[in-house]
Amino acid sequence: MNDKLFITTFTDPMMGLSYESMPTFRKLETHFGDKIVFNTKMAGLVKDVYDLVDYNDLKLYGKKVALNKYKAKLAEIYLQEERIAHLPIIMNNFRLFDEEHTSSLPLNRAYKAVELLDKTKSEQFLYNLRYSTVVETNPTTHTDELVKVAVKTGLQKDQFLKTYESKESQDALNKDFEIFKILNINTLPAYLLQYKDQAALITSLAKYEDFIQVINKLTKKEIKGKRTKPTVQNIYDFIKKHPLISSNELIEAFGLKDNDDLLNTIAPLVNKSKINFKKIKSSYFIEKNNEN
């Protein structure tokens, strides 16, 4: 069977909900392998943060105070979203918006730039961008921070900047927005599932079981998932595909019990210096050693 299932996620790189959905997507990835093709479309969550601040704060206290109060509220939302999958979110020094950087659109456009340059790197760039935003608390609305993430992902600084600032990246972003508009999606994230001539749209935060229910109905069970065994080699192969990944994602993807179970399983990789890891809150982030 050559027919594949396509899952397209409509999101914004700043979205905590999409970040917290990664364990579910890792499980789908390991269970279905190349039967599923994952795509991401940008939807532009915050066009202008001043559209979202409290009008009374803006009127009484001015832009800076209104923005700071909104950022405090946004930080609370992020921390509430952390409870979904417990991927760590740090809000102690949240700097995504300031008076000169009032939109999340630069993050969206940066993703499209990387997609134009090297589509094979776009999903890793998106992950690195989320990590930089909600774990390292870098102000990723700033161009220099986007450049740092691009370079970390293996792109050349000058090439990235040229493409990011080009008409092509803006046109590509506009095409994503047009698809989003045509589908009349009102909430984010949203997921478009397509199989042969069939399609289904999920417009709420979906768990693994929700996806399975839709996949079974859409494909009439022609596509079935199968658990990938949590061997050291299988986990390492997965880490090579995702050179920065959380323990939460690996636990869900391979059906492990907890962090201790994961760390015991991947101990040979640590001993051979194939991976590095660091603890953040109650999770670990595993990173592939570039020398291997």
At 222-255, the pLDDT tens digits run: 999 999 999 999 999 999 999 999 999 999 999 9
Euclidean distance between CA atoms 106 and 42, whole angstroms: 11
Count Cβ atoms within 10 A of the Cβ of residue 270 and give its class: 0-12 exposed, 13-18 middle, 19 or more buried.
middle
- pLDDT tens for 148-207 read 999 999 999 999 999 999 999 999 999 999 999 999 999 999 999 999 999 999 998 999
Length of the chain in terms of residues written: 292
Please report the pLDDT score of residue 2 as a whole number.
63
pLDDT at residue 11 is higher than 50? yes
Residue 227, SS3?
coil
Neighbours of 164 (CB within 10 A): 23
- pLDDT tens for 121-150 read 999 999 999 999 999 999 999 999 999 999
Q: Token digits for 153?
A: 């992902």
Please report the pLDDT score of residue 211 as a whole number.
98
pLDDT band at 42 (very low <50, low <70, confident <90, very high): very high
- Whole-angstrom CA distances from 52 to 22, 89, 139, 143 are 27, 22, 19, 23
Please report the pLDDT score of residue 1 as a whole number.
45
Q: Token digits for 144?
A: 């220099």
Long-range Cβ contacts of 172-176 (<8 Å, 24+ apart): 172/112, 172/115, 172/116, 173/42, 173/44, 173/105, 173/108, 173/109, 173/112, 176/41, 176/42, 176/43, 176/108, 176/112
Please report the pLDDT score of residue 292 as a whole number.
58
> Averaged over 6-31, what is the pLDDT?
98
Please report the pLDDT score of residue 204 as a whole number.
87
Mean pLDDT of the chain: 96
* DSSP symbols for 17-66: HHHHTHHHHHHHHHHHGGGEEEEEEE--S-S-GGGTS-HHHHHHH-HHHH
250 close to 26: Cβ distance less than 8 angstroms: yes
Please report the pLDDT score of residue 290 as a whole number.
84
> Averaged over 64-90, what is the pLDDT?
97
> Averaged over 261-278, what is the pLDDT?
96
> Averaged over 55-66, what is the pLDDT?
96
Q: Quote the longest CA-to-CA distance of the chain.
A: 63
